[in-house]
Amino acid sequence: MNLESLDGRLLFAVPKKGRLHEKCLSILAGADIQFRRHHRLDVCLVLNHPIALVFLPASDIPSFVGKGNVDLGITGHDVILEAKMQDHVTEILRLGFGKCALQVQVPESGSIKTVGDLAGKRVVTSFEVLAGGEYFDEVDARQQLSGDQKTRIEYVGGSVEAACALGLADGIVDLVESGDTMRAAGLHAIATVLNSEAVLIKSSVPKHTNLAPLIELITSRVAGVIAASKYVICQYNILRTELPTATMITPGRRAATISPLEDEKWVAVSSMVEKGTIATIMDQLVAIGAEDIMIFNLDNCRV
């Protein structure tokens, strides 16, 4: 593809592989961003908007958005901090997927039980900035360690969890999602450096002011897709006398919708409710006399 054909288009960077890739493709589909990516090409044109998608390693996206010509990107919150790009990019939306924790891990059967015990020893990580320059510098300061006594941080690009078993480290700092890999390696977490998830970002300094309306449109669509995956519609009938209690149970994302019924003693309520709480909420509604309680899934929405 001739890169000159990208002139005038909004450049949108998404992870080309890894833990965020498949979910990002789902987000693009939900936002009606239609594209056809040719095999082995990392740039493609969107068919129904003046947008070009750029597929990049998630770790590179903050730099391309913050210092390059890329207008929007999806990456991890941890990646932004590790790249020291928090002053150059703005997190527009937290996307609710790719959740993980950057944690300090040590052998479960070992003698190290706290971060203080690990201070001054060997730590392997692929997050040199977050683990070394920020986290363990503070740990060493609290332990009053200096010079050769300070914790030694060594970078490894992959298979970090094997470093302790193979004699390279006394502890590691690595991302934990389910924890299966950590446990399989005989490790357990003794501290959390930070919690992370996928975020939609833009440059802190707008590069193409004419594209601002399109950035707002895409942001609104992505927010709608995320909300649709997080919420359901709860609809039920309730006595007017119980309405104050009912709306406390289902306040809605902004507010519940209240509709009159032919029987003046009753009203219909429709409200957005988080999926993870719906069983408990239905129990609470039954307890106050709600009837005809129905749950509807959302395919898409605008919030």
DSSP of 202-245, one letter per residue?
Answer: EESS-S-GGGHHHHHHHHHHHHHHHHHHHEEEEEEEEEGGGHHH
Note the pLDDT tens digit of each residue in 234-253.
999 999 999 999 999 999 98
Q: Exposed/middle/buried for 229, CB within 10 Å: 0-12, 13-18, 19+?
A: buried
**How many other CB atoms are found less than 10 A from the CB of residue 197?**
15
Note the pTM of the prediction, 2 decimals.
0.84
Give me the pLDDT at residue 281, please: 97
Rounded to whole angstroms, the Cα distance separating 49 from 65 reads 19
Note the pLDDT tens digit of each residue in 19-50.
888 999 999 999 999 998 887 788 999 999 99
Helices 212-230 and 21-30 cross at an angle (nearest 10°) of: 110
Type and span of the H or E element at 101: strand 100-107
CATH class of 3-97+198-207: alpha beta
Q: Distance from CA of residue 55 to its chain's centroid?
A: 18
CATH topology of domain 232-297: Alpha-Beta Plaits (3.30.70)
CATH topology of domain 100-196: D-Maltodextrin-Binding Protein; domain 2 (3.40.190)
Domains 3-97+198-207 and 100-196 share a fold: yes
Rounded to whole angstroms, the Cα distance separating 157 from 174 reads 11
Rounded to whole angstroms, the Cα distance separating 131 from 40 reads 34
Predicted confidence pLDDT, tens digits, the chain (303 residues) = 555 557 789 999 999 988 888 999 999 999 999 998 887 788 999 999 999 999 999 999 999 999 999 999 999 999 999 999 999 999 999 999 999 999 999 999 889 999 999 999 999 999 999 987 779 988 998 988 888 899 999 999 888 999 999 999 999 999 998 889 899 999 999 999 999 999 999 999 988 889 999 999 999 999 999 999 999 999 999 999 999 999 999 999 889 999 999 999 999 999 999 999 999 999 999 999 999 999 999 988 887
Spatial CA neighbour of 120 closest among 156, 141, 145, 155: 145
Give me the pLDDT at residue 19, please: 80
Give me the pLDDT at residue 80, please: 96
Spatial CA neighbour of 300 closest among 29, 73, 72, 51: 29
